[in-house]
Amino acid sequence: MTDTITIRRPDDWHVHLRDGAMLQAVAGYTARQFGRAIIMPNLTPPVTTVAAAQAYRDRIMAALPAGADFTPLMVCYLTDGIDPAEIERGFTSGVFTACKLYPAHATTNSAHGVTDIMKLTGVLDTMQRIGMPLLIHGEVTDGDVDIFDREAVFIERTLAPLVRDYPALKIVLEHITTAEAVDFVEGSGPNIAATITPQHMIINRNAILVGGIRPHNYCLPIAKREKHRLAVRKAGVSGSPKFFLGTDSAPHEIGRKENACGCAGIFNAPYAIETYAQVFDEEGALDRFEGFASLNGPAFYGLPVNEGTITLTRSDNPVPATLGEGETCVVPYFAGETLRWTLAD
């Protein structure tokens, strides 16, 4: 049995670091494990300009613990009226790594998102031409579509036509949760990839609803039935270069989760790499862990892999019930349980 695994330093291709006190509280968790991370732009107000992204990047750097070796990769939040020239300027100057498409009202802080993808024609032409990746929250928001069907319907109604109309556009379907998403990505060309969260490899919807409502397992896209979890998990450990690590760690203060209208988001950043390692170990796929965590993402984005390595050991790793105090008190994923892998310092 393998008891120690050393891999190239991984990256997190989808994380919410927030701002202000929460940013100060959580940035160190991500920087401890990952060399780089794609930073979600759904702040209030959202990050829609080069200047806003530069300022946010500076705040992230200032929030890191001393000596941290971490590069935030900034993302432009797409709105109906966004200027393609601003996006191109941000990309060619190295400030923006990608753009994020939130369908309006799909999730937390998406009110300024896109109401109709037809409004993005100029933006998508530009992104395809310059090779800038489009990161997609793939859910429709129509009131008549069941929340458990929203990803599959998005793929059929929006993503398939998008891929047809922009055949060279680089697209990451973020935090996939369904067999339909796995099938779509596997059946598409090399310019279509997906990120996978730890929770969507581990929980199905029973973990939210059986035995009482468990708000800390609620995120969007919501976890689906078991057959979908199995499909996503299989894709993640398959070794396919189309699938890579994106935690979607999304901290909310405990009172905003344990609430009559609780926020969507699972805070998995503190033990993310250990959680993924446990999944790959359970699947007998530790030999494919490095590809998923450290190699496939850079290859897709056209970036070098990180220098340096991390080492994980097989040893019990108890997860605390809460982390932080007051307005930054958050419940981590796996709270009160014990993970089987530990990241060496």
For Zn ion, the binding residues (CB under 5 A) are 248
Point out the residue whose Cβ comes nearest to Zn ion. 248
The alpha carbon of residue 345 and the mean position of all alpha carbons in its chain are separated, in whole angstroms, by 24
Closer residue to ligand DOR (CB): 171 or 219:
219
Site for ligand DOR in 313-342 (CB under 6 A): none
Query: In whole angstroms, how close is the CB of 42 to Zn ion at the nearest point?
Result: 7
Assess 16 for contact with ligand DOR (CB under 6 A): yes
**Of these, 14, 137, 205, 257, which contacts ligand DOR (CB under 6 A)?**
137
Instruction: Provide the 8-state DSSP code for 65.
Output: P
CA distance 209 to 343: 31
> Of the listed 11, 12, 248, 281, which one is catalytic?
248
Reading the block at residue 138, the tokens are 């793939």
Give the count of beta carbons closer than 10 Å to the beta carbon of residue 164. 8
Residue 107 found at the interface with ligand DOR (CB under 6 A):
yes
Between residues 39 and 87, which has the closer beta carbon with respect to ligand DOR?
39
What is the spatial distance between Cα 166 and Cα 38, in angstroms, rounded to a whole number?
Answer: 23
Pick the binder of ligand DOR from 61, 104, 207, 264 (CB under 6 A).
264
C-alpha 195/C-alpha 292 separation (Å) is: 9
Q: Which lies closer to Zn ion via its Cβ, residue 14 or residue 233?
A: 14
Residues 324/326/332/337 CA torsion (nearest 10 deg): 80
Task: Please enumerate, as own/partner, the contacts of 316-320 that have beta carbons within 8 Å and a separation of 24 or more.
Answer: 316/340, 316/342, 317/271, 317/274, 317/341, 317/342, 319/270, 319/271
Of 42 and 306, which has the nearer Cβ to ligand DOR?
Answer: 42
User: Could you confirm whether 83 is annotated as catalytic?
Assistant: no
Site residues for ligand DOR, window 20-59 (CB under 6 A)?
42
- Contact call for residue 233 and ligand DOR (CB under 6 A): no
- Tell me how far, at minimum, the Cβ of 72 lies from ligand DOR, in Å: 16
* Nearest-approach distance from CB 195 to ligand DOR, in angstroms: 12
Do residues 308 and 36 lie in contact, with contact meaning Cβ atoms separated by under 8 Å?
no
Considering only residues 30, 48, 49, 108, which one is a binding residue for ligand DOR as defined by CB under 6 A? 108
101-110: string of b/e by CB count within 10 Å (b at 16+)?
bbbeebbbbb
**Minimum gap (Å) between residue 197 Cβ and ligand DOR:** 9
DSSP 156: I
Residue carrying the six token digits 């989808």 = 14
DSSP secondary structure letters along 290-334: HIIIIIHHHHHHT-PPPSSEEEEEEEEEEPPS-BS-GGG-BPBTT
Our finding on whether 219 is near ligand DOR (CB under 6 A) is yes
> How far does Cα 330 stand from its chain's mean position?
18
The answer to whether residue 14 forms part of the interface with ligand DOR (CB under 6 A) is no
d(CA 208, CA 231): 19
Which CB atom, from 107 or from 188, has the smaller least distance to ligand DOR?
A: 107
Using CB distances below 5 to 8 A depending on partner kind, what does residue 107 bind out of Zn ion, ligand DOR, none? ligand DOR
Asked if residue 220 binds ligand DOR (CB under 6 A), the reply is: yes
**Which C-beta is closer to ligand DOR: that of 253 or that of 281?**
253
Kindly state the number of chain residues that form the binding site for ligand DOR, as judged by CB under 6 A: 10
Structure tokens at 304: 């070098």
Which residue in the set 250, 293, 310, 319 belongs to the binding site for ligand DOR (CB under 6 A)? Answer: 250
Q: Please give the positions annotated as active site.
A: 248
- Positions touching ligand DOR (CB under 6 A) are 16, 42, 107-108, 137, 219-220, 250, 264-265
